[in-house]
A and B are shown apart, each in its own frame.
Chain A
Amino acid sequence: MISIDNVNKWYADFQVLTNCSTEVKKGEVVVVCGPSGSGKSTLIKCVNALEPFQQGDIVVDGTSVADSKTNLPKLRSRVGMVFQHFELFPHLSITENLTIAQIKVLGRSKAEATEKGLKLLERVGLQDHAHKHPGQLSGGQQQRVAIARALAMDPVVMLFDEPTSALDPEMVNEVLDVMVQLANEGMTMMCVTHEMGFARKVADRVIFMDAGQIVEDCPKEEFFGDVSARSERAQQFLAKILQH
């Protein structure tokens, strides 16, 4: 579904991604982790071309991201993305947030878009909030709306960019529950997250990044199994994150 092939990216002289290659198969859930500044958020944003890269290619469901002939808005409309800071549109109501792209990008009718949006809102358990504005919801609720908004586009794959790291601790689980449910239904997912509990529960593979490189890329069982077999940097990272 996603194949990342030798991607290199620089900010001026500073290389942020070095020879990154990996693959996410249909129905697979891949968790990307690593210390802050390791390039994991940059990599996931390269997948739907929110960040440009200078070398290599990424192919999403048969479409090349690097190809200048690719219609990027069209590609992005098939790739769902959930952001660290939710990025709901604060000037629009929840319903409008769920429908605006369906109407303006996919060309669905307002009635159809609303029906679809409300169904998804119900699925994330927020049907009572349809007429509110984002500012009136808690962080966890906003993130659940953001997930519903992405799902409303019928994406072939979902990207999650640290979806729980801006949340208060008591709200993390309501978002993770939605993500687990999604994974269990067979959605293809690529998630940048530090939630190792989530990784243990639903991930098929775990990718560990450091300093712009993919250091580990292995099945979950292997990653969490024999820690001593991991690279030194991954061990240090895991030691810090698993202590708690």
Chain B
Amino acid sequence: MNYNWDWGIFFKSTGIGSEIYLDWFVTGLGWTIAIALVGWVIALLLGSLLGVMRTVPNRWIAGIATTYVEIFRNVPLLVQLFLWYFLVPDLLPEPLEMWFKQDLNPATSAYLSVVVCLGLFTAARVCEQVRTGIQALPQGQTAAAYAMGFRLPQIYSNVLLPQAYRIIIPPLTSEFLNIFKNSSVASLIGLMELLAQTKQTAEFSANLFEAFTLATLIYFTLNMGLMLLMRMIEHRVAVPGLIAVGGK
């Protein structure tokens, strides 16, 4: 097993068209970001709704949200992805099934599956954060809002949620970063995101250490960049004198 180190590999031709290996990484990163961002929008909206449902003084509504969370938290992400990609299309009504399996190109159908899968999976986690944030607020806040004549939906939108979101920015940040990392499971249903492109580069060029090092660096940089972004947001929305920002 002789290994030929070549850090210039990324600028060499892949032998396919005029592409160089770096192009593969750029394409892969594009898919990774596209999965994560759209998945995050779903997770944030659905997760917030579920989080509110869990704190509402109604056993049935809270029970539905709790059931959702337990199901999506206790089945491995990969199993969920296989269910969405292999099983769910077969359960769709005939015309939709045909559309999904035949009209869409394979990358698009894989993309749809993984976005829905990650969105719903992450929503369960976001739900728990939102719930924790709401429950961390003093009971007096709700009482005071009721005393001023607010109705429950108004209390959530004007009093509870604006405070809860500010408290949970740090744990939400880590869920946001997780969805980028979790998007790598898309490689297992054939979507050519960052990890899949890395593997392909390693196999094509035989320069696996260089390929995986670059992938690691990209994930690491992405992580740091997003963390800084979230910290900036946290500072921007911080309420003076309310909550200490940034740990110390």
Asked whether any CB of A lies within 8 Å of a CB of B in the complex, the reply is: no
Q: What residues make up the interface of A, taking CB atoms closer than 8 Å to B? A: none
Footprint of A on B, CB under 8 Å? none
